[in-house]
Amino acid sequence: MGPTSAASTAGAATRHILCMKWGTKYGPEYVNRLYAMARRHLQGDFRFICLTDRTDGVRSEVECFPIPELDWQLYPNQPDRAWKKLATFSPDLGEQYGLHGTALFLDLDVVVVGPLDDFFTQPGEFRIIHDYARPWKKRRITGNSSVYRFEIGAHVDVLEYFQQHVAQVQQQFRNEQAYLSDFLHRQGKLAYWPESWCPSFKYHGIPTWPSNFWNEPFIPSDARVVIFHGECNPPDALAGRRNRRFRYIRPASWIAKHWHE
Burial class of residue 58 (count of CB atoms within 10 Å of its CB; 0-12, 13-18, 19+)? buried
Distance CA 175, CA 218 (A): 30
**Per the domain annotation, does 251 fall within a domain?**
no
**Per the domain annotation, does 43 fall within a domain?**
yes
**Which CATH number do you get for residue 177?**
3.90.550.10
Q: How many CB atoms lie within 10 A of CB 222?
A: 11
**Per the domain annotation, does 23 fall within a domain?**
yes
Half-sphere exposure of 205 (CA within 13 A, CB side): 33
Q: Which helix (H) or strand (E) holds 160?
A: helix 156-164
pLDDT at 161: 95
pLDDT at 11: 41
pLDDT at 72: 58
Distance CA 90, CA 242 (A): 36
DSSP state of 88: G
**Per the domain annotation, does 217 fall within a domain?**
no
**Per the domain annotation, does 204 fall within a domain?**
no
Structural domain of 62: 7-192
Mean pLDDT per 10-residue interval, the chain, length 261 residues: 41 81 94 98 97 97 95 56 89 96 98 98 97 78 97 96 90 93 98 97 94 95 95 92 79 97 96
pLDDT at 106: 98
